[in-house]
Structure 1
Amino acid sequence: MIRNGAPWMTRCLAPVVLLAALVAWSAPAPAAEDGGTSRAPVLSEADMADLRALDAEVAIGVPHRLDLGNPLHYRVTMAALRRGGETPERSPYLFQSLRETHERRAARLEAAGTPAPQATLAAVVAETGTPQDLNFIATFSEDNAAAALAMARGEDDAPVGYQATGISSVVNGTTTTSIVMELYEADSGHVYATQSETQYGQGTDFRVQVEGQVPPDAGSPTTRAQGLFVYYPKSSAAAAADTEPVVYVQTFQDTLNPTQACMEQPNYCVRNNAGQCTGSYETSCTNTKANETPIKICWYRGSQQECDYWNSTSHPTDFVFPLSGSVSYPNTVVSPPAGVVTIYIQNPNGGGCNVYYKQGEVLDPQYWTVDDKQISWNYPAAAFPNNRDCIQYYDATTAYLWVTAYVALNGSGGGEPPPFGTINFTSDRSQIGVPGVSIVPPLTILQGCLAAGTPIALADGGERPVEAFTANQQERVKTAHGQTRLVRGTTQGREPHPMLRIQTDAGHDVLMTRTHPVILAEGVPVQARALRVGDRVTTLEGSATVTAIAPETYEGVVHNLTVEEGGRAGTFFAGGILTGDAVMQQSLTTIANRTLARSPAQIRESLPEVWHQDFDNHQ
């Protein structure tokens, strides 16, 4: 079924005006006689008026930051939280803090004689090239599984459904994050699906998905998805009362899913008999085949020996992978292509970078082309300028790639307005099965090594410095549980971050990168940066207690080994401490493998006391 989209505006309009004008509002439908609503909650006249006013400030498809000093922004925020089930009784400090922040900021504006600021394009755009907080609608698409079942049963009036996923990922985490995701009929104000959740003491990778079916008596309304994100950056208990909330909002409108989708790059490198990258790449669509194996990216880590994309001299100024692909729709694509494109790389450890952003009446013709019902893109690596801060932020991380776009399509005839089409590609495998979303391989950015000169325990009881290994199939090292293994590979590189000098009460002294694996006494592997003084680590002699951890600048070459067959994670003793090899280091790039789960009691203890009642009420 082709849904009604908003009229495509004349191309002479400025880009922001063009996109901000995509939705035409009308009065809400009347309530039922019993005081309820005829089929679903309806936005009040006041709420509808506020959303109309906010619509004049924001562009569809782009995250915007709200200012609680603006009475409009404050009302929109509080109304959405209430629709999501939050109340002053359930979340007393949240509501108190929001109210006090509004009053404080509004008083400052009044004293300064400054008008209330409008919604601003999110920092995700303004700070391209640096790590930043990400708050965005990652997916929005038709979800017509129910319609397919109805059609299979021969029913004429098949329901139409939608889904939308909102993600909040904040650098260093949050004290608390609330996300309200809603689906509603833009013209009438009927909210037919709401999903709201709150997370405490985390905030590094929090997502909420809403899904629902357009009410059967609604006709063919324009559906809108809205995400409201409210979070408090992590603070100390003493500073909790001074931490102001941050609020973002983003909207999407009625779209069509692609009939075909293909991501061609980034892709796996074609390798020679020696296992080295030949400089050419596979050409099949990465989203249509088994793609669990990460695409490896190295900044002077292994280079052709190990990685699919690399920079062989140092950490690069720009990202080093290209991006190309295509999608097709039931309708023809407007030519020249127009819409919104955002490419994120999310660090599951919190925050991320906006690699590329484009909003305007015409997408870059040097990257985008249209052929009837197909739209294609081809970005070279040079199209993604970034600085070292952004690239270094992903050290030893399996990063989530998000490619999201919202493009104009031509109508299907009969005077029907043009719809819009979505493009959704991601390497986040939790999105498998989400309608309209294509899954591409994860991106692993490899780092994690030892300083040259670090002695490695050999199987015969001797030692050899880590840089002296050649993987000649004759070198055996000691591993965990008294076993020995052949050294099967080596890597080397440069480390731009300060390294960590780890010392123990047994005299161990090892200099390693922050992301090199260390095996705790209970057998759990953690990145070196997760160690704390007092932790017990596994050693050649049994175990020892960490007595000092100090950052140290290191300008030499760093090295690592691979010691197991078949790509399994291995271990070896470095400076007498049991550490993980290059494969284990890669396994710890996944947040689930390097973050220990915390109990509700531990989370509560980590929160400022003012949040305890809110936390307790959400358990």
Structure 2
Amino acid sequence: MNHPRRIFSALLCLLVLGTGCQKEIEGSNNQNLLQSNVGLSNDMAYMRHLVERTGGHKLKLDLSDDTQYRFLRARVAASGKTPANYPQFFATLEKIRSRQKTQQTQLSDNQPSRDHIIGDFTVQPGGTTFEATAFATIEGGADYNFVDVVVWNENQTQQLSDYGWGEVYGDGRKLKARATGPIPFYGDDIFVVDSVNLISRGGVEDIYMITERVRTPPGGGMWHPTDNNRDGIVTICLNRGDGDCDYPLVGYFQVQIPLKGYFTFPFEVLRINNNSKTYVKLVDERGGPREMRFGPFANWLKINPNDKRQVLWDVPQANGVFNGILFQPYEDVDFFLSVDVELARPGRATTASSKISSVRSVTTPGMPNAPKVQLVYGCLAKGTQVKLANGKTANIETITKGSQVVADSSGVALTVQDVSVGTERIPMVRIKDDAGRDLLLTSSHPVITPDRGVVWAEELAVGSKVLTQSGVSTLVNVKREMYRDNVYNLKLDTSTLAKKTYAKGTTLYANGFLVGDLSLQRAYEFKNSEDRSADVRRRLPAQWHTDYQNSMKLAAR
């Protein structure tokens, strides 16, 4: 390792007594773990044996085992942590160790989902170095999240990378560590990437270790899901269809998409492994993992009889059903697909995995990146009166492409570019104002307010101020109700506007209320994911404050 120790923050912060801000701290150390820790080679062999007993999957560390405890202490020391500068980190290790020695259980009911995965292994520009990554996520965040990553030769007797690590306080929803090293290998080499993850949330802590064999395969491809509209995202429209839908699902309120593609591995595939490394899933972009899964994916995989290095999959849309927690409308979701196989490598069989993802750092080199996915289900009820350019109104279901509607108080008329139609199976929102206006719309439909800007219908309440065709009015009734007929929305062409109020999309009048068109819904897909808490110390348990301050000082050097 010839590069120096590095530390950098994903968000530059100014640390003032009693305040602070932080998203992520990442760092690395060129320390060779085996050379700097006498006896670690034996501990590594012991840990490798434990991981192999799990089938090569995730291992929950037992710190009551002296070897595992010693291994972990030696490993995290490379991140610069000592009991003096990170007292709560080491107090947490001792707490876990004590609990496991006495076989106590944690109060872990209703704990959020978490995930810990090995990311990519890529050759850097110039072809002389590589980079490997690991990710750790927890739904809703944590008090503290730590993850590291190291690359070894196949037998794990030689460290090939530096020691990479990452940590975050008072958030921790999505964290990455990365390790780099010089390229010492030839085309058929296989490496082992391992990673340790500690998460503390509400006094509940655990530590996990994962390992994965990686290499760069010759190639692969994916035809579905795909961005048919070439707008940068795969749009799945539930219970409706319009020209912006890549996969319209009229009459369905479940995620159903086709899956088709292939991986080419360096050697013949002996077996497709039906394990935790073979999957297809959709995951909350903000980390979590709040997710939906298809499966079992392994049942749809087959070895190509004409080229036994290839694994193929072809799942029709009718069978591509994803189960889990349905995401919010217009919420960006990451796509992950992974296949784990046993290869006929000369000398002895070995396992390897390949991935395609919308997260670039997870996609295996040589594979195409998948687009992000977005679910769409937000519209206006049948019978809604839309103000036309001629001053009249018309039921939204009678409006067609090419119609002219009034966009805002300036009276500008815009052309209808597309029409969305579908049904709704979840309660809609009915709003009434002090002028007697009444509108029924889906919970995620954007409504324009004078004081809060664009909000979703579900965010409105009695007393809320809204914009209408006669000015500002006050809502006197807001309620939820089921609706059994069609719902609609319009996409307006803004290309003729000299000055745009919104970067994407525009507005129209629906029963006199100023609301968003189809494009404006997508423009505001992120508005509820903003982190409004700027003071990490305020939301961080007091026992973590010293660790946090020292972490920030380290990042500022």
- Give the shorter-chain TM-score range: 0.7 to 0.9
Distance 1:613 1:108 in 2: 29
Shift of 1:400: 1.3
Residue 326 of structure 1 aligns with which residue?
262
Question: Is it true that 1:174 corresponds to 2:122 in the alignment?
Answer: no
Cα 1:104–1:417, aligned 2, differ >3 Å: closer, same or farther?
A: closer
Distance 2:113 2:251 in 1: 30
Deviations 1:98-123 (A, max 9, x none): 5334434543449xxxxx9xxxxxxx
Letter aligned with residue 262 of structure 1:
G
Distance 2:83 2:460 in 1: 40
Shift of 1:519: 4.1
Q: 1:136 aligns with which of 110, 113, 116?
A: 116
Deviations 1:134-165 (A, max 9, x none): 5132533352645x35xxxxxxxxxxx54333
Structure 1 runs not aligned, ≥5 long:
1-34, 111-115, 117-130, 150-160, 234-239, 271-290
Q: TM-score, normalised by structure 1?
A: 0.67
Shift of 1:584: 2.1
Residue 239 of structure 2 aligns with which residue?
300
Deviations 1:251-297 (A, max 9, x none): 112x3312222112223569xxxxxxxxxxxxxxxxxxxx5532321
Shift of 1:348: 1.4
Distance 1:314 1:524 in 2: 32
Deviations 1:533-557 (A, max 9, x none): 9986655566578898765554454
- Contact persistence 2:263–2:311 (CA under 8 A): yes
SS at match of 1:245: strand
Distance 1:176 1:577 in 2: 45
Distance 2:212 2:256 in 1: 31
The CA RMSD measured in Å over matched residues stands at 4.4
Cα 1:222–1:614, aligned 2, differ >3 Å: closer, same or farther?
A: same
Residue 396 of structure 1 aligns with which residue?
330
Residue 507 of structure 2 aligns with which residue?
571
More strand by share: 2
Deviations 1:2-48 (A, max 9, x none): xxxxxxxxxxxxxxxxxxxxxxxxxxxxxxxxx98797778725742
- Contact persistence 2:132–2:180 (CA under 8 A): no
Deviations 1:540-576 (A, max 9, x none): 5665788987655544543322122569522224455
SS at match of 2:144: strand
Cα 1:292–1:461, aligned 2, differ >3 Å: closer, same or farther?
A: closer
Distance 2:163 2:460 in 1: 41
Question: Is it true that 1:199 corresponds to 2:159 in the alignment?
Answer: no
Give the fraction of aligned pairs with identical amino acids, expressed as a percent: 23
Q: TM-score, normalised by structure 2?
A: 0.74
SS at match of 1:563: strand
Cα 1:306–1:354, aligned 2, differ >3 Å: closer, same or farther?
A: closer
SS at match of 2:204: coil
Structure 2 runs not aligned, ≥5 long:
1-30, 496-502, 553-557
- Contact persistence 2:33–2:75 (CA under 8 A): no
- Contact persistence 1:231–1:247 (CA under 8 A): yes
Letter aligned with residue 427 of structure 1:
S
Letter aligned with residue 617 of structure 1:
N
Alignment of 1:111-150 (within 5 A): 133-137=113-117, 139-143=119-123, 145-146=125-126, 148=127
Residue 209 of structure 2 aligns with which residue?
249
Residue 580 of structure 1 aligns with which residue?
516
Residue 407 of structure 1 aligns with which residue?
341
Residue 258 of structure 1 aligns with which residue?
217
Alignment of 1:23-422 (within 5 A): 44-45=40-41, 47-48=43-44, 50-60=46-56, 62-63=57-58, 80-104=75-99, 106-109=101-104, 133-137=113-117, 139-143=119-123, 145-146=125-126, 148=127, 161-185=129-153, 186-188=155-157, 190=159, 192-204=161-173, 206-213=174-181, 223-233=191-201, 240=202, 243-253=203-213, 255-267=214-226, 293-302=232-241, 305-316=243-254, 319-329=255-265, 331-338=266-273, 340-349=277-286, 350-353=288-291, 355-356=293-294, 364=299, 367-370=302-305, 371-381=307-317, 384-387=320-323, 389-390=324-325, 392-393=326-327, 395-411=329-345, 416-418=347-349, 420-422=351-353
Residue 25 of structure 2 aligns with which residue?
none
Distance 2:100 2:34 in 1: 39
Residue 489 of structure 1 aligns with which residue?
418
Alignment coverage as a number of residue pairs: 505
